Amino acid sequence: MERRTFEVPGTARGRVDRFVADRSGLSRSYLQRLIAEGRLTAGGRPLRANATIETGMRLELEIPDPEPLDVAAEPIPLDVVYEDDDLLIVDKPAGLVVHPAAGHPSGTLVNALLARGTAYGGIAGVRRPGIVHRLDRDTSGLLMVAKTDLAQQSLMAQLKARRVRKTYLALVRGAVSAAVGRIEAPLGRDPRNRLRMAVLPDGRPAVTGYRVRERLGGWTLLELDLVTGRTHQIRVHLAAIGHPVAGDPVYGTGLSRRGPEGLDRLFLHAWRLELVSPSDGHLVRAEAPLAADLEAVLEDLRRSAGAGRPTGPLRAAR
């Protein structure tokens, strides 16, 4: 059993679960389970997850010893783009769920990771070894995985401080007028459909930057900087400005939902990651080119639009 203590400074505000998650590096969902078990106290009194922190509070958290891992290793192929002693970065294919959950007990990225025989950080919970962030099931691209607890804490802290640069590629419906833009719109659960996210006045702050990379008739290829990392952020933000992501079955409508000819999945790809090495502070940079099926869609659009752009796989701008 591990015990941690947290002092609430005068500048802190908000819910106790968010405060402790930020300070501890634990995932909020795992922390909420500990709170539900009565393991977070103040003055010996158990707290609720939504309790409001107060200046000078002394919070005590009990973290139980890790449970035996109940997730099976499965020989699912993984494309490892980068690896060192601290972490690995994988190029996740569309359709692969990141970790086991209700409805997906197996066949996930975590099952594939366990089959590699590598140790991973454990502070996010027994069913999420090494996981520090997620990609939607239908989104392809780069995902970081921590090999140690210290690396996991470092990567979570970098994500919290917005020091990890995450750049995506998305094909969207319509002609995006501004060559460069920034979307700032708070996000939360859609009150009419809890499976969706929506722009809400009282939602959590969310920021997405974008640059037009290519105009292709009735479609636009964008580079997107994910400044914050809210659930479905890019998809909701782009739909909110009238340019939903091609092939999006949740936030798209009509032609945007179907996508251009030949597209049979969401055209959203986590293309580039830049972060600081947890061990020595050097810059780690990884890129994953678009998969062949997405490149083929772009080539068809170029031919149809007479774009006159060079053909071949999309490469990074230097």
**In the numeric block, which tokens belong to residue 40?**
């977070």
- Asked if 17 and 57 count as a contact pair (C-beta separation under 8 A), the reply is no
With tokens 């977070």, the residue in question is 40
Distances (CA, A) of 114 to 59, 71, 263, 312: 34, 8, 32, 35
Which DSSP state fits 35? H
Give the residue among 15, 85, 25, 93 at the shortest CA–CA distance from 47. Answer: 15
**In the numeric block, which tokens belong to residue 145?**
């995985």
According to DSSP, the β-strands at 268-276 and 140-146 are parallel
Q: Which of 17, 86, 91, 136 is catalytic?
A: 136
Residue 105's φ and ψ, nearest 5 degrees, are -75, -15
Per-residue HEC secondary structure of 179-234 comes to CEEEEECCEEEECCEEEEEEECCCCECCEEEEEEEEEECCEEEEEEEECCCCCCHH
**Active-site annotation holds for 149:** no
**Active site amino acids:** 136
